[in-house]
Amino acid sequence: MLYFLNHKYISDIIISMNNIIKNLPKKIPIFPLSNFVIFPKSSVPLNIFEPRYIEMIDDVMKGNRIIGMVQPKKSSEKIPMLHNIGCAGKITTFEETKDRRYVIILVGIIRFRIMEEIENQKLYRECSVNFDEFSNDLEENNEEIKFSDLELIFKNLKSLFMNEGYVINWKELEKQNLYETINALTMASPFSLEEKQVLLETINLNERKKKLEEILSTYNFDGFNSKTLQ
C-alpha cells in the first residue's frame, strides 16, 4: 500500500530529527525486505509480525527509533547476502495490535552504505554503516526538473500500473512535490528487485529520472511484460 503524508508534516519530522542526524549511529539494525525500497523524505506503513523483527522494534523504540531498510540479494541461502546500499528510516508512529503485531510508519532519513555485518546474539541482523556519500539526502531538493519533463514517464507508469492491476490515487499523488512523487511511484511500482535497487542507488533526482526512463522503455518494448533492466 502506498501511504501519503502531508509534505509539511514530513518536513517537520525531518527538521525535528536534526539532532539525531548530526549524530547518526555507526551501527544500525537491518530489516531486509525483498522488492521493497524506501527513500529519504518518503514514508511507508509496515506491519511487523515476525518474532525477530518484533524484537528489533522493541529494541529501537528504547533508543533512536532508527532502522535500516535493505534489499536482500536473490539467493537460495538461508541467510541471504544484502545489497550494499539501503536507507535508514525513523519510526514516527507505533501501534501494538491485540494479536501482538506492530503497525508502524517509517519515514526515510538518509541512504547508507553497509561496511560490514556485525555478529550478535540477537534474532535480527545489524550492520556498521556509512552515510557520507549520501549527505545530499539531508538537503532541500532544488533540482531543476519540472512535472512537464516527466509527462511521458507518468503516462507510461499509469499504463504499467493499470496493466498490473495496481490502484494508485493519482489526485493525492499530484499534491506531493516532484521529489516525493517520483520516489513514491518507484516504491509502489511493480519493478523487479534489481530495478528498484538501481533507482535507490541513483545519486540525485535527475539520475533517477534517467533510470526510470530506461526501465520504462524496456517494459514498453516488451509490451509491459516483466523484464529486468540489465
- Contact of 78 with 102, CB cutoff 8 Å: no
User: Residue 87 belongs to a domain with what CATH number?
Assistant: 2.30.130.40
Q: The cell 528498484 sits on which residue?
A: 196
Element (H, E) at 206: helix 205-221
Half-sphere exposure of 165 (CA within 13 A, CB side): 0
Domain containing residue 176? 147-221
Instruction: Report the C-alpha gap between 160 and 215 in whole angstroms.
Output: 11
Boundary (domain end) residue, out of 138, 172, 188: 138
C-alpha–C-alpha distance, residues 68 and 28, integer Å = 6
Q: How many domains does the chain have?
A: 2
So what's the pLDDT on residue 224? 43
- Residues in the chain, how many? 230
Residue 217 has a pLDDT of 80
State the CB neighbour count (10 A cutoff) for residue 114. 18
- Which pLDDT score is estimated for 135? 87
Q: Is residue 75 in a domain?
A: yes
Same domain for 27 and 119, yes or no, is yes
Q: Cell numbers for 205, please give them.
A: 533526482
Same domain, 82 and 155: no
CA distances from 56 to 10, 153, 170, 214 (A): 24, 38, 34, 37
20 & 89 share domain: yes
pLDDT on residue 190: 82
Claim to verify: residue 40 and residue 86 sit in the same structural domain:
yes
The confidence score (pLDDT) of residue 160 equals: 79
Residue tagged 524484537 (cell numbers): 55
* Beta pairing, strands 43-48 & 85-96: unpaired
Give pLDDT, residue 74.
Answer: 82
Nearest one of 139, 54, 67 to 100, comparing CA atoms: 54
pLDDT tens for the chain, 230 residues: list them: 444 445 555 555 555 555 555 678 999 999 999 999 999 988 899 999 999 999 999 999 999 999 999 999 987 778 899 999 999 999 999 999 999 999 999 999 999 999 999 999 999 999 999 999 998 888 776 556 666 667 777 777 777 777 777 766 667 666 667 777 788 888 888 889 999 999 999 988 888 888 988 888 887 544 444 444 33
Q: Taking the CA atoms of 32, 134, 230 and 145 in sequence, report the sign of the dihedral they define.
A: positive
- What pLDDT sits at residue 81? 94
The per-residue pLDDT for 4 is 45
| Confidence (pLDDT) at 221 | 42
Domain boundary at 138, 169, 186, which?
Answer: 138
> Is 105 strand, coil or helix?
strand
Per-residue confidence (pLDDT) for residue 179, from 0 to 100 = 77
Task: Please indicate, yes or no, whether residues 155 and 52 belong to a single structural domain of this protein.
Answer: no
